[in-house]
């Protein structure tokens, strides 16, 4: 799904057209492309590699499980 969004973007399709073709919300397409650009994707010159798709997937995640505990939790984990 992400790979197809990036491919259509490279072909010059608009957000609306990509969303219509893939049956997705425009905000989702916009979020995918924002993360892709943040990790170095350039529609006119980037190759769509597995690494790029993985970086976008990681960038879309809200955070690693357990990362909300903070420094105190990390200290307790070290002493365990």
Q: How far apart are CA 50 and CA 42, in angstroms?
A: 15
pTM of structure:
0.74
Provide the residue-wise pLDDT of the chain in tens; the chain has 80 residues: 999 999 999 999 999 999 999 999 999 999 999 999 999 999 998 789 999 999 999 888 876 555 555 677 677 778 87
> What ranges do the domains of the chain cover?
2-60
- For 11-20, give one letter per residue: b (16+ CB within 10 A) or e: eebebeebbe
């Amino acid at each position: 799904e992400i790979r197809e969004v990036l491919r259509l973007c490279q072909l010059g399709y608009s957000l609306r057209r990509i969303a219509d073709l893939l049956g997705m919300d425009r905000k989702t397409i916009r979020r995918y492309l924002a993360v892709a650009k943040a990790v170095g994707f350039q529609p006119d010159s980037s190759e769509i590699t597995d690494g790029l798709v993985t970086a976008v997937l990681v960038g879309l995640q809200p955070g690693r499980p357990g990362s909300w505990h903070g420094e105190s939790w990390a200290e307790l984990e070290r002493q365990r």
